[in-house]
């Protein structure tokens, strides 16, 4: 059984104290209309409560040796026959609790939908990404019609270009080969960097999406990007014949897309 609210307990205690202060000669029936109007209890429940109070005031001999079942604030005191059965004044199934008040659903639960800042991936996100992909494809298609790709002549197997450079996205690895052993430059260092990026979400468990609150993750990603960008820039613009270090404003630019 649920607990009785505190304000209802106080109201019942005040009504009980008021009834004790009034003269005993005053009929108890005079208090029922006022209580009914204050607490808004249905009429059939008031009648059941009045019958239960009458049964309580009567001697046990007249009630057939009955015993009170419930005696607590907010409950109808009903008499249980000695031979068993449903108590006198009890409700369906033998329940003796009285309805305290009728509460509207709006006061105990929010039935209105609360707006949220989240949407479903499909169709909201994927539809926008699909339209963006179509737009990029159309732009590249139209651009390729009017602008030719900077392709070189066919490769000559008898002549190796000097310097021989990898595509720009691999020039970072080629630059590392100048300083380290191929095992270190091609496997160890890139592997450590990738593992560090993979473990970043597990090391920085901050749920915030604001960059200023994710200082560890932002710093690690910035260091990784700047390290790789510096290697690519050096390999592209500061490496000349023999992959030696040169100044592009002195020796020229040895780099082609």
Task: Say if residue 80 is in the same domain as residue 171.
Answer: no
pLDDT tens by residue, 145-154: 988 877 778 8
Q: Is residue 123 part of a domain?
A: no
Concatenated DSSP letters of 130-189: HHHHHHHHHHHHHHHHHS-----PPPPTT---SS----GGGHHHHHHHHHS-HHIIIIIH
Characterize the bridge pairing of strands 67-68 and 79-80.
antiparallel
pLDDT at 67: 44
195 in any annotated domain:
yes
Question: For residue 193, is it within any domain?
Answer: yes
**Residue 103 maps to a domain:** yes
The domain that holds 244 is classified in CATH as: 1.10.287
- The whole domain housing 64 covers 6-107
pLDDT bin (cut points 50, 70, 90) of residue 173 is very high
Residue 136 has pLDDT above 60, yes or no: yes
Q: Per-residue pLDDT tens for 175-191?
A: 999 999 999 999 999 99
Lowest mean pLDDT among 13-22, 58-67, 69-78, 133-142: 69-78
Counting the structural domains of the chain, the total is 2
Q: What CA–CA distance (Å, rounded) separates 251 from 14?
A: 101
- The model carries a pTM of 0.45
Domain contains 151? no
Domain match, 103 and 165 both: no
pLDDT at position 211 is 82
The model's pLDDT over 94-114, given as tens digits with 9 standing for 90+, comes to 566 666 666 665 555 555 666
- Percent of the chain with pLDDT strictly greater than 90: 26
Q: Is residue 256 part of a domain?
A: no
For residue 45, the number of C-alpha atoms closer than 13 Å in the C-beta half-sphere is: 17
Residue at 119 is within a domain: no
* CA distance linking residue 194 with residue 247, whole number of Å: 32
Instruction: Please check the confidence at residue 192 and state whether its pLDDT lies above 60.
Output: yes
Instruction: Tell me the mean pLDDT in the region 198-209.
Output: 87
User: Which of 107, 135, 151 represents a domain boundary (last residue)?
Assistant: 107
Q: State the chain's mean pLDDT as an integer.
A: 77
């Amino acid at each position: 059984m649920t607990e009785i609210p505190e304000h209802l307990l106080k109201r019942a205690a005040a009504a009980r104290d008021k009834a004790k202060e009034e003269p005993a000669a005053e009929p108890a029936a005079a208090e029922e209309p006022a209580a009914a109007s204050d607490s808004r209890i249905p009429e059939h429940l008031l009648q059941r409560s009045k019958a239960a109070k009458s049964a309580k005031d009567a001697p046990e001999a007249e009630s057939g040796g009955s015993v009170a079942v419930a005696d607590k604030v907010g409950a109808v005191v009903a008499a249980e026959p000695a031979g068993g059965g449903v108590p006198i004044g009890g409700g369906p199934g033998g329940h003796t609790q009285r309805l305290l008040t009728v509460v509207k659903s709006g006061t105990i639960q929010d039935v209105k939908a609360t707006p949220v800042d989240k949407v479903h991936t499909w169709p909201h996100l994927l539809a926008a990404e699909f339209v963006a992909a179509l737009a990029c494809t159309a732009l590249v298609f139209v651009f390729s019609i009017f602008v030719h790709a900077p392709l070189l002549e066919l490769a000559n197997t008898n002549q190796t270009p000097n310097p021989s450079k990898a595509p720009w996205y691999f020039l970072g690895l080629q630059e590392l080969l100048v300083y380290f052993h191929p095992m270190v430059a091609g496997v160890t260092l890139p592997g450590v960097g990738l593992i560090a990026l993979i473990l970043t979400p597990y090391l920085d468990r901050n749920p915030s999406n604001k960059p200023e609150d994710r200082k560890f993750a932002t710093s690690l990603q910035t260091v990784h990007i700047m390290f790789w960008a510096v290697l690519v820039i050096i390999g592209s613009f500061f490496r000349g014949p023999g992959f030696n270090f040169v100044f592009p404003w002195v020796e020229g630019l040895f780099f082609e897309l």
